[in-house]
Amino acid sequence: MPKIIKNGDIVEDYWNYIDPPKGFVAAYTEKTAMQTPAQEAIGAIVSLDHWLSQRTQLLASNTALGIWLEGHSDLSLIIDDLPFFDVIAVYFPAFTDGRGFSLGSQLRERYQFQGELRAIGSLLPDQMYYLHRCGFNAAVTKPKDLQFAREALTDFSHNYQEACGDDNPSL
């Protein structure tokens, strides 16, 4: 079962992905399996396309739902659906692609999303501190980086500016 950083701890991840980002699968399956056995899974994190095309079936299915988005995803397509999602995963195709930082902040700040906000994709441990401050409370890194990523959450002890994630529990 894959591991994830959540609320400051390294824990097992019980969510499965449906139609996950391609780059993510490639990076993630390096050593660990990405999927949780079906009987243990809490729910499914689906792609935006999948959600848009299977919305009725998914809502009827009685499983917990999550959705993954990309930096350029059009939030207006799902704004009214946000309450259906327990998890929103934001995919970072490259660690230098910072759109997800703004997407996360917007979800928390502009759209008041209250569920789990997780960062997935190509991330450096060095980015954990920033992710947390942008409202993320969960992140997936390469398995070898997990421990270091958790430690990097405390890189700084003081911030100059306000940010939307400051009231969050630890990432």
Binding positions for other proteins, rule: CB under 8 A: 71-72, 95-99, 101-103, 105-106, 109-110, 124, 126-127, 129-134, 155-165
Q: List Cα–Cα distances, 94 to 13, 71, 89, in angstroms.
A: 22, 11, 15
* 64 or 124: CB nearest other proteins: 124
Question: Which CB, 5 or 58, lies closer to other proteins?
Answer: 5
Q: Minimum Å distance from CB 126 to other proteins?
A: 7
DSSP state, 59? H
CA angle at residue 155 from 150 to 161, to 5 degrees? 120
Give least dist CB 119 to other proteins, A: 12
CA separation, residue 128 to residues 6, 40, 50, 149 (Å): 11, 28, 29, 6
What is residue 27's DSSP assignment? Answer: H
82 backbone dihedrals φ, ψ, rounded to 5°: -50, -40
**Of 154, 108, 91, nearest in space to 128 by CA:** 154
Provide, rounded to whole angstroms, the least separation between the CB of residue 14 and other proteins.
28
Shortest CB 109 distance to other proteins, Å:
6
- Pick the closer one to other proteins by CB: 12 or 155: 155
When the beta carbons of 22 and 110 are compared against other proteins, the nearer one is 110
Query: At closest approach, how far in Å is the CB of 26 from other proteins?
Result: 16
Residue with smaller CB distance to other proteins, 18 or 153: 153
